[in-house]
């Protein structure tokens, strides 16, 4: 699930982007806005800026919509209209700063992937609704009472990510 890193009281925190849209203000935070009936961005308050889903896919992109004269910037460049956000993009509006992240945390979840998906460690099929772990690189592993494939080794087979539960984010804006 995508999120925005927000700097508040000297610390960085995460604001999860759930259904949206979210209005961005030049003071702290992103707040949900009311959406007009119908699909798309029609009726979304964008003064001065808003975040909206770029597709209906759960892991789909998020789009920054900026009103004319809003002074919204992504990675230092002014935005005129809209911009699809990429992982680690810095968004600024006045003095307020955010960082967008599309990084998905590695956590056990009920498998809802494609039928026929196999575990990256043992090669066996992963049954619908069984507990499994999806690594950051999108490989799936069994992680249930019968098969603990994710925690079997120290690293992911595909990307060398640490095979731990609740490892947190691989990247944070702290120290920038």
Distances (CA, A) of 93 to 19, 27, 38, 123, 152: 22, 8, 28, 48, 45
Residue 13's SS3 state is strand
- Is residue 44 predicted with pLDDT exceeding 90? no
Domains of the chain from N-terminus onward: 3-101 (2.60.200.20), 106-176 (3.30.40)
Q: Which percentage of the chain shows pLDDT scores above 70?
A: 87
Mean pLDDT of the 32-61 span: 66
pLDDT of 48 reads 85
Q: Is the torsion defined by CA of 66, 69, 72, 73 positive or negative?
A: positive
Query: What does the CA dihedral 169, 172, 174, 175 come to, rounded to 10 degrees?
Result: 120
Compute CA 45 distance to the chain's CA centroid, rounded to the nearest angstrom.
Answer: 22
Instruction: Decide if pLDDT at 45 tops 90.
Output: no
Average pLDDT score over the chain: 84
Residue 5 confidence (pLDDT): 92
pLDDT tens-digit readout, 126-160:
999 999 999 988 899 999 988 999 999 999 999 88
Kindly state the percentage of the chain with pLDDT values over 90: 43
Q: Answer for the pair 82, 63: CB distance below 8 angstroms, yes or no.
A: yes
DSSP state of 4: E
Task: Please name which of 44, 42, 20, 43 lies closest in space to residue 31, comparing C-alpha atoms.
Answer: 20
Q: How far apart are CA 114 and CA 126, in angstroms?
A: 9
Pure H helices in the chain: 149-152
The three-state DSSP-derived secondary structure of 78-127 is ECCEEEECCCCCEEEECCEEEEEECCCCCCEEECCCCCCCECCCCCCECC
Question: Taking 70 as the threshold, does the pLDDT of residue 80 lie above it?
Answer: yes
Q: What is the C-alpha to C-alpha distance for residues 154 and 138, in angstroms, rounded to an integer? A: 17
Work out the average pLDDT over 82-107: 91
């Amino acid at each position: 699930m995508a999120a925005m890193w927000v700097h508040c009281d000297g610390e960085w925190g995460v604001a999860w982007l759930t259904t949206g849209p979210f209005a961005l203000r030049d003071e702290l935070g992103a707040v949900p806005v009311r959406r007009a009936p119908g699909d798309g961005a029609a009726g979304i308050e964008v003064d001065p800026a808003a975040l909206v889903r770029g597709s209906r896919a759960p892991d789909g992109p998020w789009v920054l919509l900026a009103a004319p004269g809003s002074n919204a910037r992504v990675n230092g460049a002014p935005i005129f209209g809209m911009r699809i956000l990429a992982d680690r993009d810095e968004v600024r509006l006045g003095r307020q700063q955010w960082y967008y992240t599309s990084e998905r945390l590695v956590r056990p979840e009920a498998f809802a992937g494609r039928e026929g998906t196999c575990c990256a460690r043992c090669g066996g099929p992963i049954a619908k609704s069984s507990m499994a772990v999806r690594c950051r690189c999108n490989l799936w592993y069994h992680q249930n009472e019968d098969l603990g494939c994710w925690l079997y080794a120290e690293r992911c087979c595909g990307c060398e990510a640490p095979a731990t539960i609740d490892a947190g984010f691989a990247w944070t804006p702290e120290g920038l």
